[in-house]
Structure 1
């Protein structure tokens, strides 16, 4: 090896040693990413598996889904079965027993059965209303983010009007106009969620349109519609999906709130956690478990969706990746 080659190698090593630590770390992360070749969602899944909050949230959500989907198999009796109504008095309800592990409610129905079927009602209304809100918000946000200009201004002013009204008040107003039925409940909650998804998708699309790949696609002659539908929109859906998980927790609480206010399903045989809270008001002192149990179900279910949604948001956030 010549003397010049040696000097060149030593100079290169010295230059390498004086590189900033942040640059070295970034280059290492890039090299590892290139070696593994994992996609965004695969990498997010791996980070979720290592996140304790995500695991706890996933367990709670999975238990809620199992109870809701297999309610007829898990419930010991039919919902709102009145055969034990004679055992209930104005001052007391029967305590826990082997036949009724959680006792009876104020109308003589098995409380465990009511809680199990209440999970199914909350799941159906929460999922359907969140899906409708997601579709409506994605439509408005997609139009605003795709066209821009006066279209963006007009759409977002409508969204701002909806945002100026508190979500629960907006849902109550819509439910009161449409009447007392489960479909009105779903639409009411969905309308309150539309502006959330619209603003989020529009902001995400505007951010994506400033990326280099959009400029490159335009420079090679791709049409604007092709760029938006095939590149910008798919890359903007990550935050919206995460928000849907978080909003689902809010939807379950709003279902209970509207039922508590008397705007839920008018059918008295339909079990629902919010309605169970209403029924238990008169027995708060003598039988507090009639209030605490459905309230705990609402709180734990909302906590599960919130933990899972926050963990998913962190896993998909480029700034929080390790």
Structure 2
């Protein structure tokens, strides 16, 4: 290289080499996610669950919680599958397939809203603790430690019992158990970003701490939080069913819930075991779908899995 070449500004490498700037890691994560069979299975399950919940009025053959066929249910038998009712009837004379479809809608709405609330509050606490530090970090983390010392389901049951039986109380109860998880995770991600070279460079340029945290550190710390949100949705679906099973769900009998279906099936297990089998399978498969998708996202966003 001559002296003239050394003084001549060199063109930046093409986007294909650098991975297209900041979008490179996300593109690589998307490619790894598409190659993960478990992630594909989880995404398909989650997509089917969402479609069934959203399109419930179109997919359900009857109205939810109708007792039109209650006369066909006797103390010793429950009608099984037939041409009119593919999965049979429940103990109250309602179409079991319709109850399952509308139960998916209840689980989706409560699970998504509770996770969103828990993520928002937990992210706020995590940003304050990891971004400001000092006594603010100490106070917030001690509060988080207290909440983490209580089992999540026990905390959710306690909050739901205090607030009363309603969908809003269930959402708040489940989100209260999720707040400390998101707060601690985001705080740890922000603390890991503090010593990075780009943060030191931004401080040397005189940028304010708030701008550095919100504009640069926070976007680079959201990957693990998004993965945890997907995994938490699986827990939320199970906790919604658990609270309904314990009698803390929606008091309106016209609202279909998978947990309530398990309760009503207890007295009929010897006569019609499918009354508990179908909602149990729905809960397990839905939770499995979110778990597989969350684990696939974690592996896709982990740079060490790029090999």
Q: Please report the TM-score for the alignment, with normalisation by the length of structure 1.
A: 0.89
The residue that corresponds to 2:124 in the other structure is 139
Superposed, 1:269-288 pairs within 5 Å as 269-288=254-273
The residue that corresponds to 1:16 in the other structure is none
Shift of 1:36: 4.3
Secondary structure of the 1:82 match is coil
Is the Cα–Cα contact under 8 Å of residues 18 and 24 in structure 2 kept in the other structure? no
The residue that corresponds to 2:81 in the other structure is 96
Secondary structure of the 2:248 match is coil
The residue that corresponds to 2:7 in the other structure is none
| 1:179 aligned residue (139, 164, 173) | 164
Change (3 A) 1:35 1:236: closer
Give aligned pairs, total.
Answer: 293
Find the structure with the greater CA-based Rg.
1
**Aligned-partner Cα distance in 2 for 1:45–1:267:** 42
Shift of 1:224: 1.2
The residue that corresponds to 1:251 in the other structure is 236
| 2:218 aligned residue (233, 239, 257) | 233
**Aligned-partner Cα distance in 2 for 1:103–1:163:** 43
The residue that corresponds to 1:309 in the other structure is 294
**Aligned-partner Cα distance in 2 for 1:50–1:262:** 43
**Aligned-partner Cα distance in 2 for 1:185–1:46:** 37
Root-mean-square deviation over aligned CA pairs: 1.4
Gaps of 5+ in 2: 1-13
The residue that corresponds to 2:9 in the other structure is none
Q: Deviations over 1:72-130 (max 9, x none)?
A: 00000000111100000111101210000000001000000000000000000000000
The residue that corresponds to 1:5 in the other structure is none
Superposed, 1:157-168 pairs within 5 Å as 157-168=142-153
**Aligned-partner Cα distance in 2 for 1:294–1:255:** 13
1:76 aligns to 2:61 (yes or no): yes
**Aligned-partner Cα distance in 2 for 1:32–1:163:** 44
1:54 aligns to 2:39 (yes or no): yes
Runs of 4+ off more than 4 Å: none
1:34 aligns to 2:17 (yes or no): yes
1:149 aligns to 2:134 (yes or no): yes
